[in-house]
Homo-oligomer: A and B are copies of this chain.
Amino acid sequence: MLTRLSSAAKEVVIGEGPTVLIGERINPTGKKKLAAALMEGDMDVVRREAIAQVEAGADVLDVNVGVAGLDQVKMLPVALKTVMDAVDVPISIDSNNPEALDAALKLYKGKPLINSITGEEKAMASLLPLVKEYGAAFIALTMDDEGIPTDVDRRVAIAHKIVDRAVSMGIPQEDVIIDCLVMTVATDHTAAAATQEAIRRVRAELGQNVTAGVSNVSFGLPERDVINSTFLALLIGAGVNCPIVDVAKVRPLVLATDMLLSRDEYSARYIKAYRERQKALEAQAAQQAQPT
């Protein structure tokens, strides 16, 4: 099953070949500097993050302006326009505010991803019509009006429900990307395995493409990087093919994982990315060595 996203000039296809990386860094959660800049309407940080992530190998960029007190209806389109002007990759418009999404979708050129829609009745009722109207793809979260089920069966059932609802409205099935949700393993030692199992079942039963964010899993634990990167490899092994990640940090690991899952003939992508990183480091070193 192929999900096609596009910017004005570029198409990205999820579901064939290597893992598609959605860059997570344009999101003010936990980022004071970005939050302050967004509050002031200063788009410099957004622009720089967009360019840096695409240079690091992001295939799609997530854009989120969720700061308490900020007018999303006004600022989501501004941030979106900034990113569209700065880079040419498809965008994941990250909001559950219908008016903000509507304003953003109006000016988007291409086929965007909407991140995200839960199985809550209110969310489906208010957001799926926008998906349909603008011909977008969207990320479906496996939670509903009763919260996030710890139970694998119930998460898979919610995935089925959202897909069925979307299809019944005329949204193509391949435009639903599932996020099986990652919970903290320190408070429930079965949580990480449950997510992997839910992902395997969604892939087997529905065939949908699957996304995930990994960092929740290690909340409260020391040396989170080793947990997060190990989990990302396991999730890709389980069927995640478009994770939302800090691209600069995880790309070598994702390239290695793709290579180890038969998706990189002659190790060509892995070696090319390595050489590009080496070249960038050399250029940096040369610049620093120059007299100022």
Residues of chain A having any CB pair with chain B under 8 Å: 185-186, 189-190, 192-193, 196, 217, 221-223, 226-227, 229-231, 233-234, 237-238, 252-253, 256-257, 259-267, 270-271, 274
Contacts and interface: CB of A to CB of B under 8 A. Distances in A.
A233 B263 CA distance: 17
A270 B192 contact: no
Contact of A230 (B217, B238, B256): B256
A256 B237 contact: no
Contacts of A193: 260-262
Nearest to A191: B262
Contact of A260 (B223, B231, B257, B266): B231
22 contacts: A185-B259, A186-B267, A189-B263, A189-B264, A192-B259, A192-B261, A193-B262, A221-B267, A222-B271, A222-B274, A223-B252, A223-B274, A226-B252, A226-B253, A227-B260, A230-B256, A230-B257, A231-B256, A234-B234, A234-B260, A234-B261, A237-B238
Contacts of A196: 237, 260-261
Task: Give the dominant DSSP class at A's interface.
Answer: helix
B190 A259 contact: no
A271 B222 CA distance: 7
A221 B256 CA distance: 10
B189 A267 contact: yes
Contacts of A227: 256, 259-260, 270
Given A227-B260, A231-B256, 17 more contacts: A185-B267, A186-B267, A189-B266, A192-B261, A192-B262, A193-B261, A196-B260, A226-B252, A230-B233, A230-B253, A233-B233, A233-B234, A234-B234, A234-B257, A234-B261, A237-B237, A237-B238
Contacts of A253: 226, 230
Contacts of A267: 185-186, 189, 221
B262 A189 contact: yes
A76 to B, nearest CB: 34
B230 A189 contact: no
